[in-house]
Structure 1
Amino acid sequence: MATPASAPESAPLSPAAHLPDLYTIESPELRAAVSLRTPIHFTDAGEPYLPLPAPHENFYLSPMRQSDLPGDMAMMNDIRVVRSVHGPPFPNPLISAQRHLVRQRDLVAALFASYASGTFRPAASSPFFVLRERQPSGPDAYVGQVSIGPDPGAARVSPINDQWEAWRSHGVFDMGAALNVAYHRRGVASAAVRVLLEDWAIPQMGATEIHASAYVSNVASVRLWEKHGFVEEKGKRGVVSVPEAKGGGEEENCLLVWRLKE
């Protein structure tokens, strides 16, 4: 008698499977209170977002969605994008994107729980992580990621000003950006960085020092940060070994630092 074939293994359950596609705020009272005290806008569905100014008014930053996973996977597995991005594995497995979604959803939930309790600042981080472009028809396009959050392992390099408001953070934040190649050299990343910096990090998170890293050879990335007041920290250059999967070799890396000048 022939041995029956074993049943195929089912795909592992996503750690983000329990999450709805969008994070939304149903309460009109909470939406009104948040809109009054912060730069956050809401879509008709109740999803929070930060708009970009003209001439990029079709773009906005919002929390990560379940439906972003294919776009996130495609971008983070595009060697043209990740060759100069520090940290993420390459190829980037789906489970990494799913876990990232869980972490991002926790951030936005914690932020709005704080708002619901009456605490509006400082915000611990930014859940407005994904940059999108509105489309005339169909779903909005996934453009990329622009992030800022605390970096507890980073050493502060600028003095603390005793005149800063007491609520301001004395810690260090880290900022980064990665966009689909179709949106490179269009000024979109710069506009998104400006919004996160001027509308969110300074007035809502209380940031006083922000770090960004870039390969010295990645001139466009270095110029992006310098345009927004980041200055290379002299003596902090180092050599980074690039994984073989990303092409191998070594790259000289620099640290750029933004400091609150108030």
Structure 2
Amino acid sequence: MPMSSAQFSPLERNPATGELFLRLPSPHSTIILTPPRPSDAAAIAVIVNDPAVHPWLGRPNDIFTLEEAQALVSEYTRASSAVIYALEESTALEGTITSATPSVQCEQLVPVADCPVRSIRELQADGTDVYIGNIAFKRCNWHEVQSPERDQLIAANNARPTGDPEIVWQVSDFLAPTHHRRGLMTVILATVLKQWAISRMRVHHLHVSVFTGNTGSVRVFEKNGFVLSGTVEHCIEIRGEMRSLHVLDWKHVE
């Protein structure tokens, strides 16, 4: 399907493969985000099991298996495909609507429930790319809150329709250790937030939790305007250990 439609903006399409992608701005233009691919599973397993990554993800097991990675890619693919389908459907209807002004056209952009490009890749000189991480926006799970209050928050949040600015969102991400300490995740989060999440998902409130000790992630969020609202001690059990969480919030200012 042609990419001229505003419904797909700001995504581009690879002319050779037809795959959608979002490119980071210069000087990081060799980094792109695409939909997940089945081949991502092996790379995900390697990254998630790395000791520089695994302690900060809250995975329940000591080893993240290839089978678990494959299931995760399937989950990612379903979410991405649903958004792409919604965008294609809205584009098919576009021809029946006449927009008098650009502002009217902007209002007609259909809100979507997710970002279809979440797999982070680095382009190589030979035209191939290498999987280096993932970023996802999800409805908030309030990991630092205990049930039944947590269950009530999640149920109320999940009941809100797609595009409702009152939805509270969270961000989950990971990056290959080979690409740590380059400022990449700060730029990736800023790009997806500003170019997609705000305009296409109507994200107005992000609420994230980060394990204490993960100063790098806290820095990434703070550089993107998140404010540390507190630290909740020993609030979540991970692999038999009670862990503490920093809690940060971001709100969109019109």
What is the TM-score with the length of structure 1 in the denominator?
0.76
State how 1:95-244 maps to structure 2 within 5 Å. 95-118=67-90, 120-137=109-126, 139-151=128-140, 155=153, 167-234=163-230, 237-239=232-234, 240-243=236-239
Query: What is the DSSP-based 3-state SS (H/G/I as helix, E as strand, rest coil) of the residue aligned with 1:194?
Result: helix
How much has 1:92 moved relative to structure 2? Answer: 0.8
Letter in 2 for 1:253: L
For the structure 1 residues 111 and 101, does the alpha-carbon distance in structure 2 shift closer, same or farther, using more than 3 Å as the test? same
Select the structure of larger CA radius of gyration: 1
Higher relative contact order (CA 8 A, sep 6+): 2
Q: Distance in 1 between matches of 2:87 and 2:47?
A: 33
For residues 5-44 of structure 1, what are the alpha-carbon distances to aligned partners after superposition, in whole Å with 9 as ceiling and x for unaligned?
A: xxxxxxxxxxxxxxxxxxxxxx23xx3325x652111111
- Bigger proportion of residues as helix: 2
> Aligned residue for 2:10?
39
Cα deviation per residue 1:233-253 (whole Å; 9 max; x = unaligned)? 23x523244426xxxx55421
Please state which structure has a larger fraction of its residues in strand. Answer: 2
Which amino acid in structure 2 is aligned with residue 224 of structure 1? V
Contact 1:48 1:62 (C-alpha < 8 Å) held by counterparts: yes
One-letter code aligned to 1:141? V
The 1-side partners of 2:176 and 2:244 are apart by 24
Q: Which runs of 5+ in 2 are unaligned?
A: 92-108, 143-149, 155-161
1:52·1:58 contact (CA, 8 Å) conserved in 2? yes
Change (3 A) 1:138 1:49: closer
How many angstroms apart in 2 are the aligned matches of 1:93 and 1:50? Answer: 29
SS of residue in 2 equivalent to 1:237: strand
Structure 1: how far apart are the matches of 2:43 and 2:8?
Answer: 32
Aligned to 1:63: 35
Structure 1 runs of 4+ aligned residues shifted over 6 Å read none
From 36, 40, 52, give the equivalent of 1:80.
52
Provide, for residues 159-197 of structure 1, a one-character-per-residue CA deviation record: whole Å limited to 9, x for no partner.
Answer: xxxxxxx95431111102211111000111111101111
* DSSP-derived class of the 2:208 partner: strand
Greater mean deviation of Cα atoms: 134-143 or 72-81: 134-143
Q: Kindly indicate whether the alpha-carbon contact (under 8 Å) linking 1:168 and 1:208 is maintained by their aligned counterparts in 2.
A: no
Counterparts of 1:255 and 1:71 in 2: how far apart (Å)? 29
Name the Cα RMSD after superposition: 2.3
Distance 1:94 1:228 in 2: 33
Instruction: Tell me how far 1:152 sits from its aligned partner.
Output: 5.9
* Contact in 2 for aligned 1:38/1:204 (Cα 8 Å): no
Q: Describe the superposition over 1:203-226 as per-residue Cα deviations: whole angstroms up to 9, x where unpaired.
A: 110011112211222111111101
Identify which range, 142-151 or 50-59, moves more after superposition.
142-151
Call closer, same or farther: CA 1:89–1:38 in 2, change over 3 Å: farther
Look up the equivalent residue of 2:248 and give its one-letter code. L
Contact 2:171–2:206 (Cα < 8 Å) also in 1: yes
TM-score (norm 2): 0.78
Aligned equivalent of 1:255: 247
Answer yes or no: is the 8 Å Cα contact 1:125–1:150 preserved in 2: no
